[in-house]
Amino acid sequence: MIPYSGLLFFYVLFILLIPAIFLGINGKSLKKYGVIANIAALILIFGNSKKQITLLMLFYIGELILVKFYLIIRRRYEQRWILWIMVVCSLIPLILDKWGNILLINRQLGFLGISYLTFKVIQMLLEIYDELITEVGILNFTYFLLFFPTISSGPIDRSRRFQEDINKVLSKEEYLVYLREGIWKLSTGIAYKFIIGVLISNYWMNKIPTAHTLLNTLNYMYAYSFYLFFDFAGYSLMAIGTSYILGVATPENFNMPFISKDIKDFWNRWHMSLSFWFRDFLYTRFVMAALKKKWFKSRFTASYIGYFITMGTMGIWHGTQAFYLLYGIYHALLIITTDYIERKSKWYKKAKKNEAWSLLFIFVTFNLVCFGFLIFSGYLFKK
């Protein structure tokens, strides 16, 4: 069963959250009950497929062993190449899921949420290398990795932040703030996904003729862009709202992305947990390594190559089709162009502070973003 997809899930979710609300209002720890509720929810989500739950458990056991093993190794050896071996090992299940058909292996080796779970593990490995994580408890690791509200599509949390939340005992007053926020986000997410998203899908996107004319393509571009936002933002809000009710302040994933003034601003507002993950654990690390080892003469060259690597990887992460990679490259070019204009044009910096010009920048950015979503949708590649 896919989370937040039907009445049965919401019914069970309501039942599971009642004890959490009772404990929270009485100022009790939510951690132990949260673990129990998590197990029950995972059984509901994966219980109908022996294959899915088997693959999930094999993934969990393998990644737990990997993290614990690297924690021991890191205390004695600092070599970076050991870290990269660990990272590659953590990626093997995801590689087999996405590219198993190319490797002549049965493609159906993945399970719901494998991409987001893999990102969590990689984050922990990198922070173990940085010595930001020095201990990994089995219970905390399990709860973090398999946290059911965000298991299928994020948002992607950070392990140290998550651990602080689950080990904190909220007062009644603090929990009531979490509860109100959680109910609001959960309700808003339901409205986004099941009302606005469905209306856009049924009465706009699905009504567009299949013929690939310019008018139909533009119509589909805007319809798909709004549908994608309300569907995904709705899911994210429901995941965050559920997390809050369980006492976990899962990070926000969207912040009014369609009012962005440029493409950099957009990626600070759209799918923020994924965007910030790639920024922190891929782009920044690549650029810092390039500058330290002097791979390039110019720091801007390092930065721009970093953008191509980061956005290209983000594109490939979505799928193996060529249009996903093209989507990533398209955004890399937009970010590089924006960065170049910011550096070279004093007028641009001043104009961004002007209200009239800002509206023009928002309009241009919105259309550039929508064209990117058109590429992402695969519509242009359909016959």
Q: What is the pLDDT of residues 222-249, one digit of tens each?
A: 999 999 999 999 999 999 999 999 999 9
pLDDT of 101 strictly over 70: no
228 within some domain: yes
Q: In total, how many domains does the chain have?
A: 3
* Structural domain boundaries enclosing 126: 31-167
3-state class of 270 per DSSP?
A: coil
- The helices-and-strands tally (H runs, E runs) of the chain is 17, 0
10 within some domain: no
**Is 58 in the same domain as 97?**
yes
54 within some domain: yes
**Is 38 in the same domain as 105?**
yes
21-51 pLDDT per residue, tens? 999 999 999 999 999 999 999 999 998 889 8
**DSSP character for 252?**
P
291-337 pLDDT per residue, tens? 999 999 899 999 999 999 999 999 999 888 999 999 999 999 999 99
Give the whole-angstrom CA distance, residue 86 versus residue 82.
6
Examine the fold and report which residue of 203, 219, 245 is the final residue of a domain before the chain moves on: 245
374 within some domain: yes
253-268 pLDDT per residue, tens? 999 999 999 999 999 9
251 within some domain: no
**Is 191 in the same domain as 133?**
no
pLDDT of 351 strictly over 90: no
**Is 276 in the same domain as 204?**
no
Confidence of residue 104 (pLDDT cuts 50, 70, 90): low
**Is 78 in the same domain as 179?**
no
195 within some domain: yes
104 within some domain: yes
**Is 306 in the same domain as 340?**
yes
**Is 181 in the same domain as 122?**
no
Question: Which positions are catalytic?
Answer: 318
Based on the number of CB atoms within 10 Å of its own CB, is 346 exposed (0-12), middle (13-18) or buried (19 or more)? Answer: exposed
Contact status, residue 310 vs residue 283, Cβ threshold 8 Å: yes
DSSP class per residue in 43-60 = HHHHTT-HHHHHHHHHHH
273 within some domain: yes
**Is 261 in the same domain as 233?**
no
Examine the fold and report which residue of 113, 138, 167 is the final residue of a domain before the chain moves on: 167
**Is 220 in the same domain as 133?**
no
**Is 160 in the same domain as 179?**
no
> For residue 318, what are the CA distances in angstroms to 35, 66, 103?
30, 25, 18
